[in-house]
Chain A
Amino acid sequence: MNPRYQQSWKSQTKHMVVLRVLLWLCITILSIAGPCLFLDFISRYSMTTRHWFLFIIYIPLNAVLVFGFAQALFGFYLVMTQSEMRQISQSIYLSLSKTEQKHLNLSSKTALLFPVYNEDTSRFYAGVETTYRALKKSGHLDAFDIFILSDSTNPNRWIAEEEHWLSLIQKLDAEEKIYYRHRFKNLNQKSGNISDFCRRWGSNYDHMICFDADSLMTTETLLSLVLMMEKNPQVGIIQTSPRIFQGETLFARLQQFANRIHGEISSAGLNLWQQSGGNYWGHNGIIRMAPFIKYCTLPALPGNSPLGGRVLSHDFVEAALIHKQGYEIWLAHDLEGSYEECPPTLLDFASRDRRWCQGNLQHIWIALFGEIPFANRTHMINGILAYLSAPLWLLFLLMSTLLTYSFYVSNLSLLSQPSKLAIMPESIMLHGLIILSLSFVYLFGPKLFTIIRLLIDPAFAIRFGGFLKASISVLIEVVFFSLLAPLLMLFHSAFVLGTLIGQKVQWNTQNRDSQSHTSLTSALAAHGGQTLVGLFWAILAGIINPFLFFWASPIFLSWLFAPLLSIITSHHGLGLWFKKQDLLLTPEEVKPCKEIKLLEKILSKREKIETPIPELVPHQGLIRVALDPYVNALHYGFLRPRSKQQPLTQKRFEHLVKDLILKGPDSLSSEDRWHLLNDSRSVENLHNTLWKTNSSKLCPWWSLAISRFRLSYS
């Protein structure tokens, strides 16, 4: 190891300590100064209950902005001065060359986990194949095993996953390297899926790296993560900073551009304050197996769902639990090769946020009452405030509008008292503008840092298509997100309210299909209420005071044109148009790494599967298991052998098989069909009995299925 790195890694430099103190000082001072200025401002009218109420709402709103701004400010300083930051990657050599990669001597064994839940099978397996092929090429495949952990509840997806697994291991000759496991019941969803792996096979491995269904990591990153874990036994989790990629719709491209161009600065700031008290984001991170198994059992939260019961957003809690036992958690933000995809449309994004909102609000219990380290409590409070700030902002806007209204209907003239702060101007208007400007600085300052960086650092600008194109892209991104933010605020407010009054969240599969844009009907259904709110509010503001209308017009515009914005940003064609103009470009598009190229190659070579006729589509998986002896044998092999089945249960299953064949699949409930597909005896029985049943006795649906099945072979 480089001795210089080793030395800086072992202890914090004086410079680092000063910077960290300064960062916290900055957060504290700005979090206090903002509300003080605001209090001074509103007290110049008169302090009534209404004003105190407004002041109380302002405190957390200001704090959220300050935290993000301070993080970006210090991140900007670190990135621009290339200061010697203490980061986990210093414990190894970064940028392993091909020769260095080949000569690495990994002494540990790592499981690569690919949880899947009703996802697009071919896209999912393309990710697995890319990872496998890249690892094999690196010569370090022996140090890894791949596990596909399926929780799919859609039989069609489930059977397709099994078939894909078989063809993949045949194609790659990857027996005993890529394993597939399906759970009968997806108890505790993703966290339950991972725990199940830990209980079955976890102790065979030193580490695990969890992927998302759409994530990708380069070999260099995987090897670096393992190496860092081997060199630092005190580390429990290393989280990478996933870059968003493969965005095609305008919405996804805006997200991926923002994540990519501003991400490095904010990650550097985040790493500065959190250091060894980092967080886990659920995927694209490496975990030390033994302490995870020992300490990361999730607690049951007080009360019932939605706020209590089972922990939904398990990642933050797991990080807290492992950190509590003295293990360090680091953010390896400088590792480039870690990617994930983004929901293609605003509605998909909002639907994901609905789940995250409930998960983060649940953390209130742990943040308030759990014995966890300070850093983890800060992460949780940040997460909670990310959603709680939406209804607070809405309330703040509502109260401000009503205050203005009450002033105008009172017909009183404005008699303001002088400011209590000597530095503040005499004009109350100017005073108000200063406070507003401060909020704008917090909001748009980080964007300005990026533009400055683009100007100063040409190498950085080239990665995004050059200074001019990248700066224009930042402006486009700022305009779009300024319009999208009020929409998200209304969504988040509804989610928070929904969670608080007991609405539970459904764990649906995330839509990752960028070709299906938002229809007018769905846009109106989702945003109709927001448009009405915008219309009503705009009229009210216009009546009260044109000045108020003018100031709040960006928010009204966003709400009024919400359906249009949602449809426009969901378009694949528009996203590609921006790409053709070299706008919203990311380094992965300018110069993709070999793994992304490989993934794209695999995706482009995907075989086009012939779509079955509509009548057969809903039960395609069942048809494959029932008619194809090899799919049947494969599926049978994955099921638990039933050696001791109760005679009554056996009889019931036999009856179900008979009904299924003679009356068709719709005669059975989906639950019964699910149970049949999970019973090995029934699966074998179904295949044999179906082929043996006289065609005159078969229900017409099966006759059709058999004839189409025969056709598929001819």
Chain B
Amino acid sequence: MDTLVLVEDQISSETRNNAFTRVDGILRAYGIEDRISRSHQVLKILEEANLYCYDDTDDLEQVAADLALKQIDATLKKIAAQLDIPPDTTQRRRLLLLLHTSKLLQRKPEYLLSAKFLPQSEVELLLQYRLTQGPDLQRSTMGNPTLDFSDIDNITHTYQQMIRFIPGAQYILASFMVIMLIYLIYLFSR
């Protein structure tokens, strides 16, 4: 809070409010529901972001959002290490889902941005939540088609190509059908 007060003259309150709203939005989206806890964490991030910004020309909102996301990412890497899973992006995304399904952040919001390790009981709980989006692949190949129309196909293609070759062939065909219908009407009404 002290730092915020120190630079207050250089950074407008609008900029600070925008930065606050953005980081608050990020933390809320990540599941920190408790407002007091969230505000506390937002202020901590803003405090740190202030160290990189001196006046309104520096993008406090962006720096603060970046810091928040980086800290979340660092937390995920740390938990990944605890769970003994590789820290790549795919696994980190999976881990994030684990945090969501286990409702860990609802119970202990402070762990999202904390440097502390998770207690063993929480680690064990997380391990119980496994998401499998599909069983192991068991590749098989569909057999070859047992119905063959190759001879008829040739004739049909030749016919269709001929139709395409003759300009307006479709219209000629349609006209022929209309003429046939008119002839039938004539035949039946005379």
Contact = CB atoms under 8 A, between A and B. Distances in A.
A636 B93 contact: yes
A692 B67 CA distance: 9
Interface in B103-133: 130-133
Contacts of A371: 147
B135 A293 contact: no
Given A49-B187, A692-B62, A299 B148 contact: yes
Contacts of A366: 147
A162 to B, nearest CB: 9
Contacts of A436: none
A357 B11 CA distance: 69
A709 B22 CA distance: 12
Interface residues of B, number: 60
B31 A175 contact: no
A633 B94 contact: yes
B2 interface: no
Contacts of B139: 199-200, 203
A286 interface: no
B98 to A, nearest CB: 9
Contact of A695 (B61, B131, B146, B184): B61
Interface in B26-43: 26, 28-31, 33
A200 B138 contact: yes
A501 B69 contact: no
B49 to A, nearest CB: 12
Contacts of B33: 713
Contacts of A710: 21, 25, 28
Nearest to B96: A633
Contact of B143 (A169, A201, A297): A297
Nearest to A147: B134
A175 B26 contact: no
A170 B144 CA distance: 41
A199 B62 contact: no
Main secondary structure of the interface of B (DSSP, over half): helix
Contacts, number: 179
A408 to B, nearest CB: 10
Nearest to A406: B189
B173 A629 contact: no
B152 A365 contact: yes
Interface in A27-72: 49-50, 53
Contacts of A369: 149, 152
A547 to B, nearest CB: 18
Contacts of B65: 691-692
B155 interface: yes
A425 B62 CA distance: 97
A629 B132 contact: no
Nearest to B65: A692
Contacts of B153: 300, 302-303
A402 interface: yes
A501 B134 contact: no
A258 B65 CA distance: 62
A262 interface: no
Interface in A133-182: 145, 166, 169-170, 175-176, 179-181
B174 interface: yes
Contacts of A691: 22, 25-26, 29, 65, 69
A627 interface: yes
B57 interface: no
B142 A198 contact: yes
Interface string B136-163: 0111111111111100110111011000
Interface string A178-217: 0111000000000000010011111110000000000000
Contacts of B149: 299-302, 365, 369-370
Given A406-B189, A633-B96, A176 B28 contact: no
Contacts of B152: 302, 365, 369
A43 to B, nearest CB: 17
Interface string A463-487: 0000000000000000000000000
A540 to B, nearest CB: 10
Given A179-B133, A198-B142, A684-B93, A170 B101 contact: yes
A145 B173 CA distance: 52
Contact of B134 (A181, A295, A296, A402): A181
B97 interface: yes
B99 to A, nearest CB: 8
12 contacts: A166-B101, A176-B135, A293-B143, A294-B142, A297-B142, A297-B145, A405-B188, A502-B170, A629-B30, A630-B97, A692-B62, A706-B25
Given A299-B147, A370-B149, A692-B65, 13 more contacts: A50-B187, A179-B132, A179-B135, A203-B139, A293-B140, A297-B143, A302-B155, A303-B160, A317-B147, A321-B147, A395-B184, A405-B188, A634-B97
Smallest CB-CB A-B distances: 9 pairs: A402-B188, A303-B156, A302-B156, A299-B147, A302-B153, A299-B145, A633-B93, A633-B96, A630-B100
